[in-house]
Amino acid sequence: MADFFEFEADFVDALRCIPMQVRYKLDICGIKLKLSDWHQMTQAERQALVELPCTTTTEIQAYQEYLQQLILERTGTPVAKLPIESYPAWMDSSTVPASIQEKAQEIGITLSLQQWAALTSLQRFALIKLSRPGHENKNFPRAIAEFHLL
């Protein structure tokens, strides 16, 4: 899962921001990572978080332990934990979340269930994150275009 989205192109070369695929892994393993903590890491450590697998139970636990140790070493404080959802919205291809429909309607489109179901779980995750209230949503229309949802 080392592919980045096109809408992330302005920051992924230097990994100056946390890419969606790492944010996805963070949600899977229940860790809240602050951007300031991300900036404490070396480029190699950030790249490792991009490349390390986080799919199986063993991989998720290893990713979580690696990140917990890394943040403790870099910042001197333990990571903040998040509740892990047993069936997060991005895994549900049978229901388009209301937040996605509302954000899509703001840019003049409606997503069909067929379009939503055709997306990967990472694409659905990205749209959910980009549609959150209070989030800078400039990348939502770019993601919609990149995912061929126009």
Q: Rounded to whole angstroms, how far apart are CA atoms 123 and 150? A: 15
Question: Domain spans of the chain?
Answer: 6-81, 89-146
Q: What are phi and psi of 16, to 5 degrees?
A: -75, -25
pTM above threshold 0.95: no
pLDDT digits (tens, 9 = 90+) for 65-121: 999 999 999 999 999 999 998 899 999 999 999 999 999 999 999 999 999 999 999
Q: Rounded to whole angstroms, how far apart are CA atoms 94 and 63? A: 29
pLDDT of 2: 55
> The tokens of 145 are what?
């275009």
Averaged pLDDT for residues 15-24: 93
Confidence of residue 18 (pLDDT cuts 50, 70, 90): very high
Q: Rounded to whole angstroms, how far apart are CA atoms 1 and 3? A: 6
Q: How many CB atoms lie within 10 A of CB 150?
A: 11
pLDDT greater than 80 at residue 1: no
* Average of per-residue pLDDT values in the chain: 92
Residue among 100, 80, 103, 104 nearest 90 (CA): 100
Residues in Cβ contact with 37 at an 8 Å cutoff, skipping those fewer than 6 apart: 71, 74, 75, 79
The DSSP annotation for 61-130 comes to HHHHHHHHHHHHHHHSSPPEE-PPPSS-GGG-TT---HHHHHHHHHTT----HHHHHHS-HHHHHHHHHH
